[in-house]
Chain A
Amino acid sequence: MTDSTNTFSPLEQHLLNDFQRDMSLSATPYADMAKQLGVSEEKVMETMQSLQDRGAISRVGPVFKPNRVGVSTLAAMSVPEQHLECVARIVSAFPEVNHNYEREHEYNLWFVVTASSEEHLDIVLYEIEQHAEYPLMSLPMLDDYFIDLGFKLKMSALK
């Protein structure tokens, strides 16, 4: 496993690892983290902002359970290599698309589409097909077997 020790300070490692779940819903979450880690609230906020700016964290806050608040689907397209970049940009331009990856397979473009209702989702899928000019295969989640406990990081300060 790649050790990210060189990239992240001990404080950064703790902020990345220790508050992935059950973060307190107190009025002052960053002050609570600071108290637990024995540093100032300013230091926590500054470090958290830096982690966010560097892309190590995407955000601090809720992860919504799929299909409880809105509806979503995983869509796949099979796109010839020479058109992939362009099609990917068209797909990513939709605000309803939140993940969009190239994967090594005949179906080589995989993206998640999230909308507020079934009707809205159907319209967006239709529009994506119209703009991308390739058919998509929609694979909505039928059942979720994963209990999200956050992601355990392997870093030296956490050993």
Chain B
Amino acid sequence: MSTAELNKQVMQITAEDRALIKAVEKGLPITSRPYADIANDLATTEQDVIARLQNLIDKGAIKRYGVVVRHKELGYTANGMVVWDVPDDKVEELGMCIGKYDCVTLSYRRPRRLPEWPYNLFTMVHGSSREEVTKKVEEITSSCGLQAIDHTILFSTRRFKQRGASYTPKDASNHKIPAKLQLVK
């Protein structure tokens, strides 16, 4: 199976696993026995929680397991979403090349939306300043042979929200947007 096909496979998740994912998606408790505490909330055992998490890692549902840092607070205050208009048959090769750099944290293929949006490869480049990000993008451009590829850097100026993904939100139809947030034009 190609990476594209693998990436599109949404896993069949049991109700028990879904409850576990909900319990850990915002992070483990910082306690001596975090899995025992989670098990307690889910009315199961510590061994069961650990075995289920190991299974999610083995099945590839968990990509990484450990400390998740916030770049901005660590001095990497500039981040540029660099988008590239890559020929379709080159996306995988160039996406892998860009994804190997230490300063890069994402390398995804996404659809073009023509005519408004011609870019199909999205990468995230971090640095301590815009100049550093721009310099790194130049380095990547030259070493991955991207000189002829149209790209643009979208620097972030404000962060309105950043947290771990919630895969188990409540029923969407229950949304209530607070009245004070309703848009007044």
Question: Which A positions have Cβ atoms within 8 angstroms of B?
Answer: 1-4, 7, 15-16, 19-23, 25-31, 41, 45, 48-49, 52, 54-72, 74, 76, 83, 86-105, 107, 110-112, 114-116, 120, 123-124, 127, 131-133, 137, 139-153
Contacts and interface: CB of A to CB of B under 8 A. Distances in A.
| Majority DSSP secondary structure for residues of B touching A | mixed
A141 B117 contact: no
A98 B62 contact: no
Interface in B1-18: 3-4, 7-11, 13
A52 B53 contact: no
Interface of B: 3-4, 7-11, 13, 21, 24-28, 30-36, 46, 50, 53-54, 56-57, 60-71, 73-77, 81, 91-92, 95-96, 98-99, 102, 104-111, 113, 116-117, 122, 126-128, 132, 152, 154-170, 172-173, 175, 177-178, 181-185
18 contacts: A58-B163, A60-B27, A62-B65, A64-B25, A68-B9, A93-B177, A104-B157, A110-B81, A110-B154, A124-B172, A131-B177, A137-B117, A142-B108, A144-B109, A145-B99, A146-B104, A146-B107, A148-B63
| Majority DSSP secondary structure for residues of A touching B | mixed
Nearest to A105: B154
Contacts, number: 302
Given A58-B164, A59-B68, A60-B30, A145 B110 contact: no
B63 A65 contact: yes
